[in-house]
Amino acid sequence: MHGEYKTPGGKLVKVDYTVRDGQFAGVVVSGDFFLYPEDAITAINAALDGSAVSTSEAEIAAHITAAVGNDVVFLGFSPEAIARAMLRGMEGTS
């Protein structure tokens, strides 16, 4: 699956993954955004792996925020933007 979302005036987030047993698997978040510190991307990908595909956008975003903590800076995008890109990948499937 592949979903994209561009934060207006900001950056483009792309999320690639597969769905296994009703869960997101092999999640890779990519794009032209800025994330400080850069290593936080590993925690974001890991946090999304295994989430149920029925999870809401707000819940996915909260999950990302909880995984990276408060000291991580999302520049040009947000946990919500990642969540939206992810769920867009599911559009047209069911």
Partner 1 sequence: MNEHTRWRDHKWRLLPAAPRSPAMNMALDVVLTDGIASGECPPTLRFWGWDRSCVILGRFQSVQNEIDAENAAAAEVSLVRRITGGGAMFQQPTGAITYSLTAPESLVAGMTFSESYAFLDAWVVNGLRAMGVDASYVPLNDISSSTGKIGGAAQARRNGAVLHHTMVACELDTELMAKVLRIGREKLSDKGITSAAKRVSPLRQQTDLPRDEIVRRLTAPFATQCDLRDEPLHEDEIARAEALAAAQFASDAWTYLLP
Nearest distance, CB of residue 6 and partner 1, angstroms: 5
Q: Which residue reads 């990908």 in tokens?
A: 45
Cα 45 to chain centroid, rounded = 7
Among 18, 26, 32, 56, binds partner 1 (CB under 8 A): 32
**Position 84 contacts partner 1 (CB under 8 A):** no
CA distance 56 to 43: 19
Return the range that interacts with partner 1 (CB under 8 A); candidates 23-31, 46-54, 55-63, 64-72: 23-31
CA distance 78 to 25: 21
**Position 76 contacts partner 1 (CB under 8 A):** yes
